[in-house]
Amino acid sequence: MSTESNAEPAEPAEVEQTSAAEKPLPPKRVLLLALIAPVVFALDLVTKIVAVQQLEGQPPIELLGGLVYLSFLRNSGAAFGMAEGYTVVLALIACGVVGFILWIARKLRSVGWAIGLGLVLGGALGNLADRIFRGPGPLRGHVVDFISVVEPYGAFFPVFNVADSAICVGGAVIVLMAIMQRDYDGSRVEKKSVGKNA
């Protein structure tokens, strides 16, 4: 009798394990990331080329009744003018971010995470390209910023670019995924009830 009663509780656990194992995984979303990142990078690159050609040395251009200004600025710091003077360190951090995203991309199965990481990757590559290829030299290049809100030259809010915007929006999407308990591999993070069952 005692051996039969000990064997009974093991059956539901086995059923739960097999059902969890048989649950199909979502399809991989690497392609979505691979589509978003180059689009962001290209858009950032083109707008910066136009900004250098049309805005450098010119007075700010007012748009939308003064809500937005196109004000040319070369930034040696991070996004929105932070950490000025740490260009080499910021370039190395950007390289690390790019490497990390590429590393986890092989397990990427969440649409939300693919969108968020694609935006961050494209933005990081856009600003990294400035730091590598623009003056005053490799890894010390100044990032081109040209979008200012409410006031020109960042008097109300720091001047930024398309890459900065993509990084911020992508970061917000990733935070939203975390709040929704969605992991990048497509699984849902749920509180374990093992302690209660024990």
130, 145, 183, 185: the catalytic one is: 145
183 part of the active site = no
Cα–Cα distance, 85 to 148 (Å, whole number): 21
**Residues counted in the chain:** 198
Cα–Cα distance, 66 to 163 (Å, whole number): 22
Coil, strand or helix at 198 = coil
Would you give the DSSP letter of residue 99? H
How far from chain centre, in Å, is Cα 27? 21
145 part of the active site = yes
44, 164, 183, 185: the catalytic one is: 164
What six digits make up the tokens of 118? 């694609």
Which residues are known to be catalytic? 145, 164
